[in-house]
């Protein structure tokens, strides 16, 4: 078990799995991770699944995560879709995983190279 406490102080207990572990036909949130030198985990990608087993069978980010050093997959069962949507967004904002570029919040401002900034 690995506990992550969000920036708002809410703790979540994730099961720690090796990438080649068997997965259940259960819904939830998962985090592709790299184990760091302090014994914690660095998030590469956060996602959700209606079925862990079905989602990982052909995940479009799986090979990229392996190439980026994925050593573990953290998972937590969350049956309700609305709760999965909410937790996925919270974790992406908290952890800023580099492979979640499509879910990242927009920058507060942007500079344009053509304007000489």
Spatial separation of the C-alpha atoms in residues 111 and 117, rounded to whole Å: 6
Please tell me the total number of residues recorded for the chain in this structure: 117
Q: For residue range 22-71, what is the model confidence (pLDDT) as tens digits?
A: 988 999 999 999 998 888 899 999 999 999 999 988 899 999 999 999 99
Question: Is residue 104 very low, low, confident or very high in pLDDT (cuts 50, 70, 90)?
Answer: low
User: Which of 14-18, 53-57, 65-69, 106-110 shows the lowest per-residue confidence on average (mean pLDDT)?
Assistant: 106-110
Please give the span between the terminal C-alpha atoms of the chain, in angstroms, as a whole number. 47
Instruction: For the chain, give the longest Cα–Cα distance.
Output: 53
Domains of the chain and any CATH numbers: 2-115 (3.40.1440.10)
Q: For residue range 60-73, what is the model confidence (pLDDT) as tens digits?
A: 999 999 999 999 99
Residue recorded with tokens 């991770």:
33
The three-point CA angle 93-96-98 to 5° equals: 145
> What's the pLDDT at 66?
93
89-100 in b/e burial notation, b at 16+ Cβ within 10 A?
A: ebbbeebebebb
The structure tokens listed for 74 are 């953290």
């Amino acid at each position: 078990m690995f506990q992550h406490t969000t920036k708002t102080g809410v703790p979540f207990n994730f099961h720690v799995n090796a990438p080649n572990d068997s997965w259940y036909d259960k819904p939830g949130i998962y985090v592709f991770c790299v184990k760091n030198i302090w014994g914690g985990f660095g998030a590469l990608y956060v996602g959700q699944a209606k079925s862990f087993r079905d989602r990982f069978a052909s995940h479009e980010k799986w090979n990229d995560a392996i190439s980026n050093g994925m050593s573990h997959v953290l998972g937590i069962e969350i049956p309700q879709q609305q709760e999965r949507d909410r937790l996925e967004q919270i974790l992406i904002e908290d952890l800023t995983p580099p492979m979640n570029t499509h879910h990242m919040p927009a920058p507060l401002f942007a500079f344009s190279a053509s304007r000489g900034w």
